[in-house]
Amino acid sequence: MKTRIGILTGGGDCPGLNAVIRAVVKAAAKRDWETLGILGGFDGLLSPPRQRLLDYHEMDALLFVGGTILGTANKGQFAAKTGHGDVRRIPNAILAEAQRNCANLGLRALVVVGGDGSLTIGQQLFEQGLPVVGVPKTIDNDLEATVVTFGFDSAVASATDALDRLRTTAQSHQRVMVLEVMGRYAGWIAVEAGIAGGGDVILIPEIPFRYDRLCQKILEREREGKTFTLVVVAEGAREQAGEYVTAGSGEANREARLGGIGAVVAAEIQQRTGKETRVCVLGHLQRGGPPTNFDRFLCTRFGVHAVRLIAEERYGQMVAYRPPDMVGVPITEAIGRLRTVPQDGDIVQTARCLGISFGD
């Protein structure tokens, strides 16, 4: 019987998941291994397990297809995060069932493609005895131990494109346009797209803002004859001493769903400055569609390196990008704490040197 490995995608989807699956299947096939895709995220490991053999030839067109052919979930029995990022221990019976089913399926190892939450589950499965290797996915780019996660570059590209489009309509109508982007508790998407898209104000969770400061920036622009303003707001941004703005009432065993801060900020700007203001919530457009060329390249390297880690039996490790190399690092190094935008780092300084306001 051939050596058999498994792969699953967990958490929110993002561009590049299929590119990783393709690279894993192809690199495994080169070693004469077969790859079993676990369907529907971690829940696919519960009895009866849901899986299918991934055919080498099926992988041809997958490089640029968004989403995940395996399906995914960011809720259910395997939710490892609740509230605002609190870690939940998955019940032992569930972990044991998943481990048993992997053994019954004949898996030598399981590749877990996921962000903070999914890699936390992966680590718990590893501690239960399952040979796990991780691949860092998330548009939020908030994982430690790797300089970048895949999906992030594609999300920044979507947000930058949105800003390019908002600029012309803002300019035509002499309005303030507020763009709300994702990113949970990290402002990476907001700050990188904000700079790349020529934003004037960028509000991020790392730098709590004040309305008087951000409105001051808008009025200053007016005085300079710049009668429109682009404001980029990360969904996790909040006022100094303020609360996160969440969407819905929140479900049990699920992380709080951030969202709505853009509308709150837009209303406050209009009321304080008298400038006509509109809001655009980019939402899941940031997660759909084809990966950028950078993400395709990164995903391919991540997938190939994950197979290399399995060949070397380096379980409990995650593939990490440390330019110019791909390396293996303990999963625990990636999930210990969130990687956020350094408040006084070069990126924020660069923005400030351009006159971009963080509303502080």
- Pick one of 90, 95, 182, 265: the residue that binds ligand F6P (CB under 6 A): 182
- DSSP code per residue over 199-212: -SEEEBTTB-B-HH
Q: Using only C-alpha atoms, what is the Rg of the chain? A: 21
17 binds ligand F6P (CB under 6 A): no
Residue burial 3-32, b: 16+ Cβ < 10 Å; e: rest: ebbbbbbbbbbbbbbbbbbbbbbbbbbeee
- Pick one of 221, 287, 296, 305: the residue that binds ligand F6P (CB under 6 A): 287
Please state the closest distance from residue 166 (CB atom) to ligand F6P, in A: 20
10 binds ligand F6P (CB under 6 A): no
Reply yes or no on whether 295 is catalytic: no
258 binds ligand F6P (CB under 6 A): yes
12 binds ligand F6P (CB under 6 A): yes
Residues between 28 and 67 with contacts to ligand F6P, criterion CB under 6 A: none
183 binds ligand F6P (CB under 6 A): yes
99 binds ligand F6P (CB under 6 A): no
Contact 46, 101 (CB under 8 A): yes
256 binds ligand F6P (CB under 6 A): no
Q: State both tokens at 165.
A: 């489009």
Q: What does residue 234 show for φ and ψ, rounded to 5 degrees?
A: -75, 145
Q: Output the CA torsion 13→201→342→82 (10° steps).
A: -40
Collapsing DSSP to helix, strand or coil, 198 comes out as coil
User: 153 or 235, CB closer to ligand F6P?
Assistant: 235
Residue nearest to ligand F6P (CB): 182
Q: Output the CA torsion 314→319→322→325 (10° steps).
A: 70
Helix, strand, coil content of the chain in percent (nearest 5): 40, 20, 40
154 binds ligand F6P (CB under 6 A): no
User: 86 or 127, CB closer to ligand F6P?
Assistant: 86
Please state the closest distance from residue 240 (CB atom) to ligand F6P, in A: 22
- Pick one of 9, 35, 68, 74: the residue that binds ligand F6P (CB under 6 A): 74
Catalytic residue among 140, 142, 153, 295: 140
Q: Output the CA torsion 252→203→345→136 (10° steps).
A: 40
Query: Rounded to the nearest 10 degrees, what angle do helices 116-127 and 92-104 cross at?
Result: 80
Please state the closest distance from residue 204 (CB atom) to ligand F6P, in A: 13
138 binds ligand F6P (CB under 6 A): yes
User: 254 or 301, CB closer to ligand F6P?
Assistant: 254
Please state the closest distance from residue 318 (CB atom) to ligand F6P, in A: 17
Whole-number Cα distances in Å, 161 to 142, 167, 172, 187, 263: 22, 10, 18, 18, 20
76-84, 123-131, 177-185, 322-330 -> range binding ligand F6P (CB under 6 A) = 177-185
Residues known to be catalytic? 140
Q: Which residues contact ligand F6P by CB under 6 A?
A: 12, 74, 115, 138-140, 182-184, 235, 257-258, 287
